[in-house]
Amino acid sequence: MNEKRMDAAGKPLPEITDATRPFWTAAKNRKLVVQKCGRCGTLNFLPKPWCIDCGGRQLDWVEVSGRGTIYSFTTASKVMMNFPGWKADLPVTLGIIDLDEGARMYGQVIGIKPEAIRIGLKVAVTFEDISPEAGIPKFVPA
Ligand SMILES: [Zn+2]
């Protein structure tokens, strides 16, 4: 069985591939990057080998502001998927964020009580380290 790698707290670590490494490395360096299509300018998230809009294959990593608006969110109050490392963080809110530059991204929303989170809330990115080589973007109220 392919065991998931865990961090010290018992949370699963992302599987980092050549296609996604620039994202995790940038987050480690406190930058939020997404792929930008060299043909039509569309910003892609998640990272893909082709543009989600025109299919173009010339994709460059560009830094974005990390500012955005909550499009939707859900809050978990119980540990999911047998990852007890999350227990200390409960409740955990996962937001879908419309970045000001145009891409739609998801990330944990922190620094606000879940009952105060609203669709349309303005947020800004913040970063946490998850391993020696990777950081993860999270979002706080702007
Ligand atoms: Zn394109």
Convert the pLDDT of each residue in 102-128 to its tens digit: 999 999 999 999 999 999 999 999 999
pLDDT at residue 108 in the model: 96
34 CA → ligand 1 middle, Å: 13
44 CA → ligand 1 middle, Å: 9
pLDDT at residue 124 in the model: 98
* Element of type H or E holding 75: strand 67-76
52 CA → ligand 1 middle, Å: 7
Which residue matches tokens 């082709």?
Answer: 50
Convert the pLDDT of each residue in 84-95 to its tens digit: 788 888 999 999
142 CA → ligand 1 middle, Å: 30
Convert the pLDDT of each residue in 22-65 to its tens digit: 999 999 999 999 999 999 999 999 999 999 999 999 999 999 99
With a pLDDT cut of 70, the percent of the chain lying above it is: 96
Q: What's the pTM value of the predicted model, to 2 decimals?
A: 0.91
Distance CA 59, CA 49 (A): 8
Q: How far is CA 5 from CA 15, 27, 80, 127, 137, in A?
A: 8, 19, 16, 20, 19
45 CA → ligand 1 middle, Å: 12
Own/partner contacts of 88-94, CB < 8 Å, gap of 24 or more, are 88/9, 93/117
102 CA → ligand 1 middle, Å: 13
User: Span 121-138, mean pLDDT?
Assistant: 96
Say if residue 80's pLDDT is above 70: no
pLDDT at residue 83 in the model: 76
Domain range list for the chain: 21-141
pLDDT at residue 1 in the model: 44
23 CA → ligand 1 middle, Å: 19
25 CA → ligand 1 middle, Å: 24
pLDDT at residue 79 in the model: 76
